[in-house]
Structure 1
Amino acid sequence: MSRTALSVAEDAFRLLVCQPAPLVFDGRPVAGLPDRLLPLDELRTLLVAGAGSEVSDPVWRTLAVRARDDGPAWVVGAVGVALPGLTRMAARLRVAAPGMADDIDSELMAGFLAAVRTADLVPPRVWLRLCWAAWRAGDQARKTDSLLELPADVAVGSRSPRRPYGHPDIVLGRAVRAGVLTADQADLIGATRLGDVLIEQIAAAGGESGSVVRMRRRRAELKLVAALHRGDLALPAVRVGGRRG
C-alpha cells in the first residue's frame, strides 16, 4: 500500500514518542487522567479507549495551544494523538473514491491542522469540532472528480507504448526537454510521487494551500499522461546490427 500523509505522520509520531525521551503530556491538571506525565502514545491509547468531553476537551485545548506555541514537535504530537480518528474518517471517505487516498489523507490532515491552529478553544466539544473541520476538508478532496478526468485525446484502452520509457526520473527529464512539462512541474511530480516530500511541505514553503499545489500537480500529470499515450516521449529507435530496432 502506498504511503500517504497519514502513514508518514504515524512514522514521525512513533519517533517522537520512542524511549528514552518521549514527548510527554502532563496529566496531573486533567481530572480523569493518571496523575503523572504521560507519553503521547499512552495519552492516545487512553483517549481511544473512551474519554468523555470532560477529559478530551482539556486535553485538546492543551494540545492545540502547545502546537500553536511550542514548535513542530507538538504539531506532530497533536496529529499523532488524532491519527486513530483521522484514519477512521479517511477510510470512510475512501469508500466512494478508492483511487484518491493520497488526496483525501492529505486534505484531511491539512484541515485538521488548520483547525488546530485557528479554532476557538473556549466552546466545548473541541475534539468533535476539530474532527468536523478535517472531515469537511477530506470530503472536498473526494469530490474533485473533474480533476481526475483524462484529456479527451487520451486513449483509455490497453496498449503497449511504442518504445520502453525508462525510469520515471528519465521520463520527467524528457518531458521537460520536449516542452511537455516545465522544470518546476517535473520537480513537483518527482519530489511528491517518487520522493518523500509531502504536498504540505511544498505548500508551506510557497505560502500556498495544499489543495492549490495538488491541483497544479494533477494538471501536470494529466499533460504527462497525454504525452505518453501519444508517444511523444518514446525512446528513439536504436540500430542493432546495422538495422533499426
Structure 2
Amino acid sequence: MWAELITRARDGGPAWTVGCVGVAMPGLKLVAARMIKNRPAWYIEAHTDDIAAELLTEFLAQLKRIDIHRPDIAARLMCWARKGALRIRSHERRDLPRDPATLPAAPATSEGTPESVLENAVRQGVISPLEATLICTTRLDRRTVPDLARERAIPAHRLYRERAAAETRLVNALQQGLLSSNPAD
C-alpha cells in the first residue's frame, strides 16, 4: 500500500502527498509523543512545535527519496521522521537550564551580553543583520522557528539551516578570538 501511495504522491501531485501524511498521522503522532514523553512542562511548551515541524519536514523529504522496493516502508519513514525530531532535541539540549551556582559570574557591565556579541558580529562581517535577527528572535526572544517561517512565508528547514550556519560562524569567530564581545571594539 505504501509503495502505491508514495508512487502516486511523486507523480500525482500534492493531494497524494497530503494523503500520505494523513495515513501516516497515527504513527507520526506516536513518534512525537515519545519525543516529548517525560519532559518538563517548560520543554514541551518551548519545543513541541519545533519537534513536530522537523518531524513532518523529514517525513515529507523522505517521501521523495525512500526506496519503495524495500520492505517496511512505513517503519523506515517513521524512523527518518524521528531522526529529524531528534536533531531538534539535540540542538535544544545546548539551551537547557543549568544550576546557577555552576555558572561563572556574569560581568557587572553590558560587555559580553548576547546582544552586544551579535552587534559586533554584524559590524565585523561574521554574520549578516538578517542572521543576527534570526538568532536573536529564535534564541533570545524564544520565538519558534516554524512561527517565524510562517510569518516570512519560507520553509522552516531553511531557517534552521541558516541559523545553524550563522551560529557556527559566530562560535568559530569567538573561539578564534576574531570577534570581540566588547561594545567599544
- TM-score category of the 2 structures, normalised to the smaller one: 0.5 to 0.7
- Measure the CA separation in 1 of the matches of 2:149 and 2:91: 24
Tell me, yes or no, if structure 1 residue 78 matches structure 2 residue 20: yes
Unaligned residue ranges in structure 2 (runs of 5+): 98-102, 107-118, 138-142, 169-185
Tell me, yes or no, if structure 1 residue 68 matches structure 2 residue 3: no
Q: TM-score, normalised by structure 2?
A: 0.54
- Measure the CA separation in 1 of the matches of 2:167 and 2:89: 14
How far 1:109 moved relative to its partner? 0.9
Say which SS state the counterpart of residue 79 (structure 1) adopts.
helix
Tell me, yes or no, if structure 1 residue 193 matches structure 2 residue 142: no
Q: TM-score, normalised by structure 1?
A: 0.43
- Measure the CA separation in 1 of the matches of 2:18 and 2:132: 28
- Measure the CA separation in 2 of the matches of 1:218 and 1:106: 21
- Measure the CA separation in 2 of the matches of 1:61 and 1:198: 35
- Measure the CA separation in 2 of the matches of 1:90 and 1:212: 21
Unaligned residue ranges in structure 1 (runs of 5+): 1-57, 156-175, 220-245
After TM superposition, the structure 1 = structure 2 runs for residues 39-188 of structure 1, keeping only pairs within 5 Å, are 58=1, 60-95=2-37, 96=39, 97-98=43-44, 99-148=46-95, 182-183=129-130, 186=133
- Measure the CA separation in 2 of the matches of 1:118 and 1:83: 19
Q: Which amino acid aligns with 2:30?
A: R
Are the counterparts in 2 of residues 94 and 101 from structure 1 also a CA contact under 8 Å? yes
Q: Which amino acid aligns with 1:91?
A: A
Q: CA 1:136–1:65 in structure 2 vs 1: closer, same or farther (change >3 Å)?
A: same
Are the counterparts in 2 of residues 192 and 198 from structure 1 also a CA contact under 8 Å? no
Q: CA 1:64–1:148 in structure 2 vs 1: closer, same or farther (change >3 Å)?
A: same
Q: CA 1:111–1:193 in structure 2 vs 1: closer, same or farther (change >3 Å)?
A: closer
Say which SS state the counterpart of residue 143 (structure 1) adopts.
helix
How far 1:146 moved relative to its partner? 4.6
Q: CA 1:63–1:104 in structure 2 vs 1: closer, same or farther (change >3 Å)?
A: same
- Measure the CA separation in 2 of the matches of 1:213 and 1:121: 31
**Higher-RCO chain (CA-CA 8 Å, sequence separation at least 6):** 2
How far 1:147 moved relative to its partner? 4.4
Structure in which a larger fraction of residues adopt helix: 2
What value does the CA root-mean-square deviation take over the aligned residues? 3.9
Residue by residue over 1:123-180, the C-alpha shift from the partner in whole angstroms, topping out at 9 and shown as x without a partner, is 1211111111111221222122354268x89x8xxxxxxxxxxxxxxxxxxxx9xx89
Q: CA 1:83–1:198 in structure 2 vs 1: closer, same or farther (change >3 Å)?
A: farther
Share of identical aligned residues, percent?
Answer: 30
- Measure the CA separation in 2 of the matches of 1:199 and 1:86: 24
Are the counterparts in 2 of residues 199 and 213 from structure 1 also a CA contact under 8 Å? no
Q: CA 1:74–1:195 in structure 2 vs 1: closer, same or farther (change >3 Å)?
A: same
Structure in which a larger fraction of residues adopt strand: 1
- Measure the CA separation in 2 of the matches of 1:71 and 1:200: 20
Residue by residue over 1:82-127, the C-alpha shift from the partner in whole angstroms, topping out at 9 and shown as x without a partner, is 1221112111101235231122111111221122110110112111
Which structure would you say has the larger Rg? 1
